Amino acid sequence: MKIREIDINIQAKPFVKWVGGKTQLLSELTARIPRDFSRYFEPFVGGGALFFHLLPEQSVLIDINEELTLTYRVIRERVEELIADLKQHIYEKDYYYQIRNIDRTDEYKSWSAVKKASRLIYLNKTCFNGLYRVNSKGQFNTPMGKYKNPKIVDETNLRACSQALQKAQIITGSFLKVEEKITRDDFVYFDPPYAPLNATSNFTGYSQDGFDLAMQSSLRDLCDRLDAKGVRFMVSNSNAPLILDLYNHYKIEFVYATRAINSKGYKRGKIPEVIITNY
């Protein structure tokens, strides 16, 4: 793996807060990543914490969330326009709900890519807990959060992210798209919506379709097929019995992370999750 030559004084970090973000587990993840692969694949890219930390020379970033991948492309290609648009937003209740509910209207369909990306970042910085959630119609429905002075525009980081993304291939679609592109010399990191530990911890509303038991099984089956081809993979997930059973023929290691996206503050603590590898 080649690490890109980028200004080390400006380390890019995720431009959005995302459910299950990996910033706090970067040391655990990087310690387990092979050093000798060709391309880096991340099919549930989300906030991209590991990608921005590694800065691989060649990468393929995939997510099923169309608005998220659009935002990645805008940051890569039109970051100055995005920064200018973000500066127009204000942190005010009526304005928040006006921007949030615009996706219920025909007007939103005619919005430019820059305006849509700007809206996603604005809502992420000002909504409750930074929780990206949509209803069955694909409409953003997280209420406004309470912040003293949310940082809607982080110009320095957006430009650093833009630079980091210049050579990245960004794809909208299912994690299954990995299979048609990956070779045995590549490495893939899967960070899917976690299997719930109980009935109330199921935050999978980041896309219209959610991520159910069948999809968890489909991901394991994909891992089996990749393993048979000699492709190395790493998977993050909860320590739910389902996951331990699905991946019992691979190496499973337990790590601890504080999960902050929870409606009750006292339930936000360090809980074990797993890192699964086939090497």
Tokens in use for 67?
């608005």
Domain with CATH 1.10.1020.10 in the chain: 80-156
Nearest-angstrom CA–CA distance, 53 and 25: 11
pLDDT of residue 217: 95
Question: What is the percent of the chain where pLDDT is above 70?
Answer: 89
Could you tell me which residues are annotated as the binding site? 18, 22, 63, 191
Could you tell me which residues are annotated as the binding site for S-adenosyl-L-methionine? 18, 22, 63, 191
- Position 206 pLDDT exceeds 50: no
DSSP 146-191: --SS-----HHHHHHHHHHTTTEEEEES-GGGHHHH--TT-EEEE-
Q: Which CATH number fits domain 80-156: 1.10.287.110, 3.40.220.10, 2.130.10.10, 1.10.1020.10?
A: 1.10.1020.10
- Position 208 pLDDT exceeds 60: no
Nearest-angstrom CA–CA distance, 279 and 276: 9
pLDDT of residue 4: 52
pLDDT digits (tens, 9 = 90+) for 214-246: 899 999 999 999 999 999 999 999 999 999 999
Question: Is the pTM above the cut of 0.75?
Answer: yes
Q: What is the CATH number of domain 23-77+167-196+211-277?
A: 3.40.50.150
pLDDT digits (tens, 9 = 90+) for 11-37: 999 999 987 778 889 999 999 999 999
- Position 179 pLDDT exceeds 90: yes
Domain with CATH 3.40.50.150 in the chain: 23-77+167-196+211-277
